[in-house]
Structure 1
Amino acid sequence: MSETCDVAHGKAEADPGVRTLVAVFASPVSRYLLTFARDLGYHVALFEPDAARATDVPDGIEADTTLPPLDGSADVVVTDHHRPELGEVLKAALGGNPRWVGVLGNPRHPGPHVTALRGLGVTDDDIARVHRPVGLNIGSRTPPEIAIATLAGLLADRNDRPGGFDF
C-alpha cells in the first residue's frame, strides 16, 4: 500500500502542515464549519465581536471578541454578510495577511463587502483578495451543506486542485 492509502485507511497520520480556519461571526454555518474543520485537522477559531451573539458555539471552542493573529496558514470565512461590522472585520482580516479570505453569500447578488471596504478606503487590489462566492458549487442550502462545500473548496485550493470530479 502507498503512503496515501495508509493515511486514508487510518494507518498513518496525514501531515497537511499548519492549517488554521477562522470563522467570523457566530452563526449556524460557523458552528458546522468549525466542527468539520476541526475534524479535518485545522486549528479553529471563532471571531465574534459581539459577545452577546456567541450563544451557539461548538463544544471546546470559545468565541473571541478580538480577531486572532492571521498569517499565511490562516483561512478566514465570514459567515454572515448582513452584519454592520462586515467592512471593518474584513479590513482587519486583510491587514493580517491570511492565506485566503472569503464571504458567504448568494453569487447572484452583489456582495455588500465591496461597498463596505471601499467606504473604509481599502484598495481595489485588497478587495479583490476577498473571495465570493466561496466553496464548491454543489447546490448547498443548509448550514451543514454550506460548511461542507466551503471546506471542500478550501481543501481543493490548498491542494492546488480544481475541485469537482476532474483529476
Structure 2
Amino acid sequence: MTGEVFEALRYALAEEEAVVTATVVSGEPLGAKLLIYEDGRTVGTLGSAELEAAVRADAEALFESGEAGIRTYSLSDGRQVEVFLEAHLPPRHLVVIGAVHIAIPLVAMAKELGYRTTVIDAREFFATRERFPHADQLIVAWPDEALAQIKITPQTDIVVLAHDEKFEDPALQVALRSRAGYIGAIGSRKTSQQRLERLRRAGFSDQDLARIHAPIGIDIGAKTPAEIAVSILAEIIAVRRGRYGQPLRPAKSEPAPVPGE
C-alpha cells in the first residue's frame, strides 16, 4: 500500500496537483500512509475510518496554508495516534492581466520568488517575448477567455493591471468565481469604487467583492513601475501569510526595549 501512495504522490507532483500526505509516526499502524486530494479522494489507509476522517478534516486547512506538522488524535477506542501531515502544493502561479509597463518588473520579480508566471493581453504588440522574457506563458486573448484556459487554484494569484473596464471586468468576474488565493486590481480609490459598483450590478455580493484588493498593493509611496511591482508583491505575500504589512520596527509612541529583556 505504501508503494501505491508513493506512486500516486509522484504522479500528483508531476501534474502539479495539490495533495497532503499523512503518515502515522506514533501508534498503530506505525508507518501507515494516506494521500489526500483537494476533492476528497484518497489513496492508502491509516487503518481506521475514524482516524482518516479526522485527518482529512485537518488536511483541508493545509491546502491553503501549505504547512506541515504532527497532529495527535485521540480515538474512541482509547488509542492515541500521532500523524505527520505535509502539504505538497504546486508552485505559486502569478497571472497578470494587462501587459503594461508595471507588469514587466512584476513578472521578473515574481520569478525570483519562485512563481510560475502568465501574462494575458488581447493586444498582440504588448504581450511579446521581447517585453516579457521572464514570463513562462504569454496568452494573446481576451482576459476572460484566457483565464478559462488556466487551472485556477488557491495557489493562483491574479493581478489585473488592464486600466480598461472592458478588459478588467470580465477578468474579475472569472477570478471571483474561482478559488484564486489573491485577486488584486490597479486603479485609484474612485476607479476602484466604480469597478465595485459595476461588479455589484453584475450580481456579486459584498462578500465576493471583499476578495478584491484595490487599490492594489501596500502603501510604501511607490512611484516607478518597479516600486509599484514591489508594493504588489509585498501585499500578495502579506495576504498569504495573514499579515497586514506593518513595519517591523516599533512605532514611535511605543517605549524603547530595555537592553537584556
Q: Tell me which interval the TM-score lies in, with the shorter structure as reference length.
A: 0.7 to 0.9
Letter in 1 for 2:131: V
- Residue 33 (1) aligns with residue 106 (2): yes
Distance in 2 between residues matched to 1:49 and 1:119, nearest whole Å: 25
Q: 241, 246, 249: which one pairs with 1:164?
A: 246
- Residue 59 (1) aligns with residue 133 (2): yes
Distance in 2 between residues matched to 1:85 and 1:110, nearest whole Å: 14
Residue 93 of structure 1 corresponds to 175
Q: 172, 196, 202: which one pairs with 1:120?
A: 202
Larger strand fraction of residues: 2
Distance in 2 between residues matched to 1:128 and 1:70, nearest whole Å: 19
Distance in 1 between residues matched to 2:215 and 2:89, nearest whole Å: 25
Distance in 1 between residues matched to 2:90 and 2:245, nearest whole Å: 20
- Residue 145 (1) aligns with residue 227 (2): yes
- Residue 48 (1) aligns with residue 121 (2): yes
Letter in 2 for 1:57: R
Higher RCO (CA < 8 A, seq sep 6+) = 1
**Shift of the alpha carbon at 1:53?**
3.8
Distance 1:58 1:140, change over 3 A: same
Distance in 2 between residues matched to 1:118 and 1:92, nearest whole Å: 14
Letter in 2 for 1:58: F
**Shift of the alpha carbon at 1:60?**
4.3
Distance in 2 between residues matched to 1:27 and 1:83, nearest whole Å: 15
8 A contact 2:160–2:186 mirrored in 1: yes
Unmatched runs of 5 consecutive residues or more in structure 2:
1-87, 250-261
**Shift of the alpha carbon at 1:49?**
3.3
Distance in 2 between residues matched to 1:40 and 1:133, nearest whole Å: 23
Whose Rg is larger? Answer: 2
Distance in 2 between residues matched to 1:18 and 1:35, nearest whole Å: 16
Distance in 2 between residues matched to 1:20 and 1:59, nearest whole Å: 17
Counting aligned pairs with the same residue, the percent is: 29
Distance 1:125 1:74, change over 3 A: same
RMSD: 2.3
Residue 5 of structure 1 corresponds to none
Please, what TM-score do these two structures have when normalized by structure 1? 0.79
